[in-house]
Amino acid sequence: MQLYTSFFSNLPHIETDRLVLRPLQMSDARDMYEYARDPEVSRYVLWDAHKSIWETKRFLHFARSQYRRGFPGSFAMELKESGRMIGTIGFMWVNPDYKSAEVGYSLGREWWNKGLMTEALDATLRFGFEELKLNRIEAQHDTQNPASGRVMAHCGMRFEGVMRQRIMNKGTFRDVAVYAILKNDWQLIH
Ligand SMILES: CC(C)(COP(=O)(O)OP(=O)(O)OC[C@H]1O[C@@H](n2cnc3c(N)ncnc32)[C@H](O)[C@@H]1OP(=O)(O)O)[C@@H](O)C(=O)NCCC(=O)NCCS
């Protein structure tokens, strides 16, 4: 894990066409609460819709303490055009022995279906392969949330199968689709 500590405690600013991926800040609370309070955004993820801005601030405190400890964490997704913080994307865990990791992401409803998460995931995969020197990056989504699978597929991740009732989310067991991309796959398409 030591290997990755300095990366996660100093997450870079990464520019894409429409976004800047950068570390989360306490000043993101208002923008984040605006989308994180929406139950449609949290429907298929493991967190619940935020009930107050204090929950958002608590989350941001936690995220920043993870950075300080050099643990895997998420980037804020900031829209270049307006400076609005509209979502998060990042690494859930990293396994230094296997050079593997899992990515996860969320985006405010107002910005769905504009290709923004595809843009953010592509940049995050690049960071994973080129900076973290990973060999395999995984992602998973609830089978009821196919839009997330489209994002993974657009970025060259390959569908590996469904794990039935793998997780309990919001009171019910959920089937989970697993995708992954290997360094070799990445090099072939970039
Ligand atoms: C899932 C999510 C990340 C997608 O982000 P996005 O920026 O809208 O994704 P993109 O615009 O890059 O791509 C969306 C793709 O899904 C497709 N899509 C949208 N709704 C769909 C649906 N109900 N069924 C199937 N495909 C769907 C779009 O058509 C597009 O595919 P295409 O380009 O082949 O046409 C976003 O909706 C989100 O954050 N949702 C809430 C949190 C969440 O579910 N996170 C993922 C947890 S695994």
pLDDT in tens, 13-54: 999 999 999 999 999 999 999 999 999 999 999 999 999 999
CB 160 within 8 A of CB 180: yes
Residue 166 lies in domain? 2-189
> In testing the pocket of ligand 1, which one of 37, 102, 142, 150 has its CB within 8 Å of the most ligand atoms?
150
What CATH number is given to the structural domain containing 104? 3.40.630.30
Q: What is the pTM of this model?
A: 0.98
105-154: pLDDT as tens digits: 999 999 999 999 999 999 999 999 999 999 999 999 999 999 999 999 99
Domain count, the chain: 1
Other beta carbons within 10 Å of 65: 11
As given in the structure block, the two tokens for residue 14 are 């990464």
- 150 alpha carbon – ligand 1 mean position (Å): 6
Cα(129) to centroid(ligand 1), Å:
23
The minimum-distance atom of ligand 1 relative to the CA of 40 is: 41
DSSP one-letter code for 115: S
Q: Which atom of ligand 1 is nearest to the CA of 112?
A: 8
Determine if residue 138 is left, alpha or beta; phi over 0 gives left, psi from -120 to 50 gives alpha, anything else beta. Answer: beta
Q: Is residue 117 within 6 Å of ligand 1 at its C-beta?
A: yes
Q: Strands, E, within the chain: which ranges? A: 14-15, 19-23, 74-79, 85-95, 100-107, 136-142, 158-169, 172-182
